[in-house]
Structures are given as C-alpha cells and as structure tokens.
Amino acid sequence: MTTAIKTVGVAGSGTMGAGIAIVAARAGFKTIIYDVREEALSRARKQTEGFFAKSVERKKLTQPQVDKIIGDLTGTTRIAELAACDIVIEAVFEDLKVKHALLGELDKVCPAHTLFASNTSTLSITEIAAGSGRDERVVGMHFCLPAQLMKLVEMSPGIRTGDDAFRAAWEFCMALGQIPVRTKDNPGFILNYFLVPFNNDAIRLVEAGVAAPADIDRAVKSGLGYPMGPLELLDLVGLDTHLLVAEALYASTHEPRTAVPALVKRMIAAGHLGRKTGRGFYTYQGNAMFGG
C-alpha cells in the first residue's frame, strides 16, 4: 500500500507512544517523538533500543537495519519540530483538555496538510477533533498494547473527518504493516467496549462469591480457549489502570456493566493493584503466581 506520508510525529513518549514510534520507524518512516519531559524521552529511547537489540538477537532484523531505523528516529521536547510531519499521532494522557491543548498547539506549528491521529482508547474522536482547529483532518488510530507487537489498529472517523483524510490515514496504517479495522466513533470503540464490561463481570463473580479467581480464569481458558483469564489479565494491566479506563467508559456510556465494581476500589485502597504491587487477585513472588 502506498502512502504520501513521509514523516511521522508521535506526541507522548509513554509506553504507547514509544511503541507507536517503533512501529513507524521500523516501517521506514522518518519519525519524531515529542514529549515535554526529557526523562520520558530518555526512557522511551532505552525501551526502543532494548526492543531492537532483541530484534537483532532473535534475527528478526540485522544490525545495519536497526542502525538505519534508530537513525530515522529522533526525540524532541520542542513541539515546533513536529512542523516537518505529515501525520502526528497523539498518545498523551486520556484527558480531553490535555488533548485539546496539545492539538491546539500542533495546529499552530503543523502545515495544513498534516493529519492528526489520536490513539485514544475511550474518548470520542469527534470531541477530540473539536479542539484541534482542523477537525476534518483528525482520525482515531487506536493501537493495541504493546503496539510494536500487536498488529491491530482500530480506526475511527469523527463526525467531521473528511473521507480523504480517513483514506490517507488508512493507507498509512497499511504502510506501517498494521491491520486496520474500521469502527464508528463509539466509546471504547470495539476492544474496550467489550473487554471492560467483561472484566467487570468477572470481578462481580468474585465479589458475589460465585467462584474463586483461579476457577473463573480456568473456566474461561478451558471453556472458551481464551489465552488468559480475565482476572489474570486485570492483574497484569493493573487495577488502577482498569479503574481509569472503566470510569472513562462509564462516563461516556452510563451502561451499568461498565461501572467499576466496589471491590476494585477496595483492592486499590489496600494496595492490591496486581502484578506491579505483588498482589491483586493473585499473589506474586518473582515470576511465580499463587492462589486465587
């Protein structure tokens, strides 16, 4: 698939932003990753170098290929440097005001043809676009975590997104080597719209004493063939992260199944966030997982 896009900007160098930058640079695009925090850029750089070192180790890429990719990938704390970009993908905090502030600044520095894409997983593309100054050139491009390994991208036009802009973003996604799927501009798009309530329902089964976490996870894996049980997955993601995503989804939909069960807030208060604190629905010691 051909694309007119040559230079890619990624705004926000957290886990998602760094992953998206890896995808873009690996596909041969000049890539500029922007963050106001120098230390965040530094972390992203380390993450990127670590990822490509493993790519060489596993013989997915050669060292000269990696050298070229790394050479095409630059970091900056100066938003003005994104003026060179044909598309800027924002992966900043999931807050409409934060995204509006960023896109407003980008609108001032980027040329008129530059596409703005949002990696939001829960917010409305139309609402994000409304603060951009160029809502006809804003599209949703939700990469999955970790972006550098997952092929899927949920692509959504906002109400005012132009057909040409959406088509250009779609062609760019294909040129990245990703697999785009088209969804409506709907809270949670497809993945989170279905996953968050499913996980909440699993928490409610624990809360109601229907079954222990290990039994629920075993049932889902054995009965449905899912690679992970919902409670293992929640421990991996972190209950604090789940709370943020679910609250954003509930605020948009007011659907009862998206409301976070009370148990989540109690577990967070107790410091049981999942793997990162050593205890969630399971207890962890090193790589070992215990109990339910």
Partner 1 sequence: MKYQIIHAGESRSFADDHPLVAGAAESGEIAVVIGTMAGTVFTELVDRGRKLAILIELGTECLGAHTGESRGEEGSNVLGFARFRLGDADPSNLVELVRQPRTTEAALAAAKQVLEGAGLQVAVCADFAGRIIDRLVRPYYNAALRRLDEGLATADDLDTTLKLGLGYPEGPIALLERTGLSHHFHVTQALYEAYGDPAYAPARRAHVAKQRG
State the residues that interact with partner 1 by CB under 8 A: 144, 150-152, 154, 179, 181-184, 186, 190-191, 193-195, 197-198, 201-202, 205, 208-212, 215-216, 218-220, 222-228, 230, 256-257
Q: Which amino acid is present at 79?
A: I
Q: How far apart are CA 261 and CA 3, in angstroms?
A: 45
Q: How far apart are CA 251 and CA 32, in angstroms?
A: 33
Does residue 142 have an active-site annotation? yes
Extract the runs of DSSP E, i.e. beta strands, from 133-253. 138-143, 152-157, 179-182
Centre a 10 Å sphere on the Cβ of residue 13 and count the other Cβ atoms it contains: 30
Peptide bond into 64 cis (omega under 30): no
Q: How far apart are CA 167 and CA 157, in angstroms?
A: 10
Supply the minimum distance, in Å, between the C-beta of residue 158 and partner 1.
Answer: 15
For the record, the structure tokens of 262 come out as 């009370």
Catalytic member of 154, 156, 242, 272? 154
Q: Which amino acid is present at 129?
A: A
With CA atoms as reference, report the closest residue to 66 among 50, 48, 52, 54. Answer: 52
Instruction: For partner 1, give the closer residue by CB, 39 or 163.
Output: 163
Instruction: For partner 1, give the closer residue by CB, 27 or 190.
Output: 190
Does residue 121 have an active-site annotation? yes
Instruction: For partner 1, give the closer residue by CB, 158 or 230.
Output: 230
Q: How far apart are CA 243 and CA 143, in angstroms?
A: 20
Instruction: For partner 1, give the closer residue by CB, 208 or 251.
Output: 208
Supply the minimum distance, in Å, between the C-beta of residue 210 and partner 1.
Answer: 5
Does residue 192 have an active-site annotation? yes
Catalytic member of 192, 199, 200, 242? 192
Catalytic member of 90, 119, 132, 142? 142
Angle at 275 between CA 148 and CA 146, to 5 degrees: 10
Residues facing 141 on adjacent strands: 155
Instruction: For partner 1, give the closer residue by CB, 11 or 245.
Output: 245
Supply the minimum distance, in Å, between the C-beta of residue 35 and partner 1.
Answer: 26
Q: Which amino acid is present at 109?
A: V
Supply the minimum distance, in Å, between the C-beta of residue 255 and partner 1.
Answer: 9
> Catalytic residues, which ones?
121, 142, 154, 192
